[in-house]
Amino acid sequence: MIDIHSHIIPGIDDGARSMDMALEMAQQAVDVGVKHLVCTPHIHWGTFDNTLEIIEQGFNDLQSAVTEAKIPLALSWAGEVRVNEMVPIWFKQQKLPFIGEFRNKKVLLLEMPHSNMPAGLEQLFRWLLNAGIQPLIPHPERNRDVWKRPDKIQWLRNQGCLLQVTAGAFTGRFGDNVQRLAMSMLKDHQIDFVASDTHDIKRRPNDMGEAYNIVSRYASKDEADKLFIHNPGHIVGVETQ
């Protein structure tokens, strides 16, 4: 499996707090069947003011530690960017990290607040797409506005967004409401990717293995392969055949 969303680079956001924890997370990812992990620390203006330089340095240190520990996990890096008015400016300043490419557009992991879907999203999505950037929205199933209006899922898709559901949503880690919404999205073919969004090994562990089995059982193995392997492999540029 290819996991495109994780908080494993230590000490720069609310994920791994130390290199030892990061190595435990890397080993856990391997143990559940992940072969390639994208490190995507938060870029949240005023909360986690990460830059490309900060992320790259943290990634290089992590890569060296994983290699030294002989953990068989391929790594790459990007970031999880919180929606804000600076996103177009950051793009013009070449300060946005991209996961990879999709249909000749650069893929940006663009996080909405958990509490709501802020005003101006339609205009931001249109601007990004016109600029050659593909918005990829993580964990819409955990957004409270979406809980109240599940039709917002299709609205996001109609705006041209790709959607990534958290593996733990399928396992029930975030409660029954989130699990039901994830299963509904699966049934309605509204998911493009499943990723772990792992932050540690206990409270927010890597649930990719268990989630893959659930999706295989309730949809099909082909659908699970698409969401956990082929689609993420396509944007990251990893051969999955």
191 within domain boundaries: yes
> For position 155, which CATH number holds?
3.20.20.140
CA dist 96 and 109 (Å) reads 10
**Residue 1: other Cβ atoms inside 10 A:** 26
Q: Does any domain span residue 241?
A: no
Check residue 113 and report its DSSP letter.
P
Burial 197-219 (b: 16+ CB within 10 A, else e): bbbbbeebbbbbbbbbebbeeeb
**Domain-located, residue 91:** yes
- The C-alpha atoms of residue 196 and residue 114 are separated, in whole angstroms, by 17
Please check the confidence at residue 240 and state whether its pLDDT lies above 80.
no
Tell me: pLDDT of 17 over 80: yes
Please indicate, yes or no, if residue 158 is contained in any of the structural domains.
Answer: yes
pLDDT at 239 over 90: no
Domain that holds residue 110: 2-236
Backbone angles phi, psi at 47, to 5 degrees: -120, -55
pLDDT single digits (tens) 114-153: 999 999 999 999 999 999 999 999 999 999 999 999 999 9
- 156: part of which helix (H) or strand (E)? helix 151-158
Give the model's pLDDT for residue 241: 64
Q: Is residue 181 part of a domain?
A: yes
**CB within 8 Å of 7: residues ≥ 6 apart:** 13, 14, 15, 16, 39, 40, 41, 42, 80, 197, 198, 199, 204
φ/ψ (deg, to 5) at 98:
-115, 140
Count of domains observed in the chain: 1
Alpha-carbon span 223 to 184, nearest angstrom:
14
pLDDT at 192: 98
In which residue are the tokens 């340095």 written?
57
The CA-atom distances, in angstroms, between 81 and each of 87, 92, 96 are 8, 15, 8
Residue 45 has a pLDDT of: 86
Asked, for residue 86, whether it belongs to a domain, the answer is yes
Whole-number mean pLDDT of the chain? 97
Q: Rounded to whole angstroms, how far apart are CA atoms 138 and 140?
A: 6
Residue 197 forms part of a structural domain: yes
The total of other beta-carbon atoms located within 10 Å of residue 158's CB is: 10
Q: Quote the pTM value.
A: 0.97
